[in-house]
Amino acid sequence: MGSNWSDRRVVVTGLGCVSSLGNDASTLWGNVLAGQCGIDAVKRFDIANYDCRIAAEVRDFDPAPAFPSGKEVRRTDRFTHFGVYAGWKALEDSGLDLSREDLDQVGVYIGSGIGGLETTEEQHKVLLSRGPGRVSPFMIPMLILNMASGLFALYHKLRGPNFATCSACATGTHALGEAWATIKRGDAAVMFAGGTEATIVPLGMSGFAAMKAMSTRNDEPKKASRPFDRDRDGFVMGEGAAVLVLEELSHAQARGARIYCELAGYGNTCDANHMTSPDPEGAGAARAIQMALRHAGLPTEAVDYINAHATSTPAGDMCEVQAIRRVFGEHALRLAVSSTKGATGHMLGAAGGIETVICCKAIEAQVAPPTINLDHVDPACPLNCVPNVPQERRIDVFVKNSFGFGGHNAVLVGRKFNG
């Protein structure tokens, strides 16, 4: 990396989201701070025979305002509805006037861990019941996971760098990190980046349940997702999307943009350990955190808050604790480390995006959001995990961790913007 790379600074100027706790960043943040939980019994289909019957569903959602026509809505999968809508909300929040931008310099990286699973499921039923001639000609463009990224660019004529990340539950954070790097390289002035997911469908729910990865606390949905808690028994699936607007600093300043924070570093490593299980020592995650801090030019002591990946699985949460202790040493005890998945469920490919939105609001408000349902902290977790209530505290630097099946580790470092 030459000096040109390091001289370019990247800031966050727009936040957009779709979630079980609200379809804009302020509503989401208010509900997270209030200790609300978006998890309930699944309503989208008959869940009676399933091991896990709870999820954090998006309710009362209308994608139409973000799409050119009702026809476009009908020709797209639910995951694309979420991604395009979150991008539209981020655009609105940023105050960008695209009619005044060089659209060759505006790009989109909206990833998805799984893509159009509902379309896959529905069209397979059509194939079996009615034959190959009745499969929709829109099936492929509906299910491929790059379509949220492609269509958002199409609807807004954004001709800059564009692709979709796919790295399971690290997807959204990878999208943001790659967008950061694209602006740092000088290949774009503005990037829309994040993740989207819509897997609360029969195939998705049964597949994750078959892995014994999901909570079966069906009688207490609001208490089921409990990161770092001694009694956790698996994750709870969520759905939705989050897209952030990243801008090169001078571009943002020239238009008088409100700046949430500076995105300062990005780490990207692999455990190379197991198909689905993280490295038990947390070594790969630790290297990603160290890489992100190195890019940011910050010592470990500068970090104030970590938004943890912690999904409420017995093994995963403790691997992350190991990584944090490995990197931060004694300073780990002075950090606030919370997981907001108790509130939102685990949004898979959208998780890193929604949690980075929460980090931006945390740095704005100088409040560490709570880990809800943390009633009995796991004895193997000697950290301040912000149990149940928010903590007002100085947050100048945050770290956002995301880890995915396949051993993928993605980490962002953000800092309070100072001139």
What positions carry a catalytic annotation? 169, 309, 346
State the helix-helix crossing angle for 78-94 and 147-156, rounded to 10 degrees.
40
CA distance 173 to 193: 9
Give the relative orientation of helices 351-365 and 25-33 as an angle to the nearest 10 degrees: 80
**Cβ count near 34 (within 10 Å):** 13
R_g (Cα) of the chain, nearest Å: 20
Strands 106-111 and 190-197: parallel
Element (H, E) at 280: none
The residue among 38, 73, 76 whose CA lies nearest residue 57 is: 38
- 350: enclosing H helix or E strand: none
Instruction: Yes or no: say if 351 and 386 are a contact pair by the CB < 8 Å rule.
Output: no
Angstrom distance (rounded) from CA 147 to CA 164 = 8
Do residues 172 and 17 touch, judged by C-beta distance below 8 A?
Answer: no
Cβ atoms of 360 and 414 within 8 Å: the answer is yes
Q: CB 203: neighbour CB atoms within 10 A? A: 14
b (16+ CB within 10 A) / e for 108-129: bbbbbbbbbbbbbebbeeeeee
Report the C-alpha gap between 90 and 12 in whole angstroms.
10
Side-chain-side CA neighbours of residue 418 (13 Å)? 5
CA separation for the pair 188, 177 (Å, rounded):
14
